[in-house]
Structure 1
């Protein structure tokens, strides 16, 4: 994926409504059926864009990428038709309807990053309300256009791996690595995850909060870090994707991925990174909503081992990261231990790597 070539289309924490036009956001409403002159026959009906046209759905796409999308029938734009298909899958995976999300002041964002031929690739985000305890959710998506319809695969699903393996996008190495690494049938995690901590190996940061949910609910997949050198680094090498300006995901080659949120001095990434690659600094960024009470790195672990919950956050209890085995307690409590030593919230943790 390539970084955006136009400013992000965001205003007051919300995507610009459909009525606003810019080169960064090209949206139009679906038109009524057209009647050809002198012939009582309607042109093909536009594809449904009921979801994409909702007030709490935003689509970000440059004019260049939009021009590469397959044309749609009727009055709907190509990007609206694609977004409608992506939003439908996102709502199914999230288990929530748009009306419920709207009541929670949450949105669905579809950021189309690449398009070529009949293929598209991008990021889909369900935002969190700013100041809310809940955190945003995000997926990479790939899509294939055939028979006038889009087939969509969300990161971590079998469809994602299958579609990506046949995609015209990305170079072969990246495409094959991501497809394989996110195949939910590929690997079963054991205690040693092969993943470190979100700061440089051989250095220490304060574990400000023990295992807690990525949002307000289990699984307790996340840990907060602050202090030390104040910088975030990849916990293991892999392919890094910027989800928004302050949130990075690194997909590793062992069936796991790691998320880093609230980053500032942000490094927009898409592509191969090494263990320890610089991602940004601890901060208070809320590029997709949520809350923060002080600069920190919100670090979460995801896995692709369960076809029924693929590509989702996994509980840290009993898992080893950075040489430490984590133990859950009450959310934000718990601790980590290594060779008889324990680190509780507020204690310093050394990154031993993996």
Structure 2
């Protein structure tokens, strides 16, 4: 079930301390209900998913799911503003959407968007890959797709230079949003008891894919 964040100045201060956020506001706004996201790739093609897991694949909130679409192309699931998060090894992409939601795209190669760019749903972001600009690990080209909420507002959530280890622990603990129960592009994702497991259910016909596994991304 989607969590709504209605928190006070104490939490704002805590987030500032944990995440190194600049100028977090004194009052925190309510985050809107989960938006109508499409899948982060073109529908109608075969896709492999390694399953639902936490950002670091071992502990914490399971706010991530890996996708490997057949055309290797990652696309925006909803309109929003791109933020390139910079590290010594290169950049990775986040998109801020209306209502206080942020989606993330790690491991991408050939990034085709720029910092501050507004994109519409379906815009090409880059290609699946094994890039590790801020650290971490990757096996097989894919996009590590993540969900976060930003109760302190996007201006307070600049993650430039933060290692993947920090994003996957402190940041995920503060603002990571579980994939479990979310409907994305007509598919409801349900986390399993273990990391890198779960199911994807196509709501139009109740077809269930066990994760990790392959499925055709029907609308």
Q: Please indicate, yes or no, whether the TM-score normalized by the shorter chain is above 0.5.
A: yes
Pairs within 5 Å for 1:174-323? 184-190=28-34, 193-200=35-42, 202-215=43-56, 216-244=58-86, 245-270=90-115, 271-304=117-150, 312-323=175-186
Q: After TM superposition, give the deviation of residue 208 of structure 1 in Å.
A: 2.4
Shift of 1:319: 1.2
Contact 1:196 / 1:321 at 8 angstroms: preserved in 2? yes
Q: Distance in 2 between matches of 1:349 and 1:251?
A: 27
Which structure carries more relative contact order (alpha carbon 8 Å, separation 6+)? 2
Q: 1:220 to 1:276 in 2, by over 3 A?
A: same
TM-score normalized with structure 1 length: 0.46
Where 1:336 maps in the other structure, the secondary structure is strand
Determine the structure 1 residue equivalent to 2:213. 346
> What is the aligned length?
180
Q: In the alignment, which of 12, 18, 43 is matched to residue 93 of structure 1? A: 18
Deviation at 1:275, TM superposition (A): 0.6
Q: Distance in 1 between matches of 2:130 and 2:178?
A: 24
Q: Secondary structure at the match of 2:215?
A: strand
Task: List runs of 5+ in structure 2 lacking aligned partners.
Answer: 1-13, 154-171
Q: Does 1:333 align with 2:197?
A: yes
Is 1:158 matched up with 2:25?
yes
Deviation at 1:351, TM superposition (A): 5.8
- Segments ≥4 residues shifted beyond 4 Å: none
- The 8 Å contact of residues 197 and 351 in structure 1, kept in 2 or not, is answered as no
Structure-2 separation of matches of 1:217 and 1:205: 29
Helix, strand or coil: the match of 1:194?
Answer: coil
**Could you tell me how far apart the structure 1 residues matched to 2:173 and 2:81 are?**
18
Shift in Å at residue 286 of structure 1?
A: 0.4
Residue in structure 2 matched with residue 113 of structure 1 by the alignment: none
Note the aligned Cα RMSD (angstroms): 2.8
- Counterpart residue number, 2:9: none
Partner of 2:169: none
Q: What is the aligned partner in structure 1 of residue 167 from structure 2?
A: none
Higher deviation after alignment, 253-262 or 279-288? 253-262
Structure 1 alignment gaps of length 5 or more: 1-88, 95-123, 125-140, 142-151, 163-183
Shift of 1:322: 1.2
Distance in 2 of aligned mates of 1:304 and 1:312: 6
Give secondary structure in 2 for the equivalent of 1:93. Answer: helix
Aligned in 2, Cα 1:288/1:91: closer, same or farther, shift over 3 Å? farther
Cα shift readout 1:124-152 (whole Å, capped 9, x = no counterpart): 7xxxxxxxxxxxxxxxx5xxxxxxxxxx2
Q: Structure 1 CA distance, aligned partners of 2:83 and 2:209? A: 31
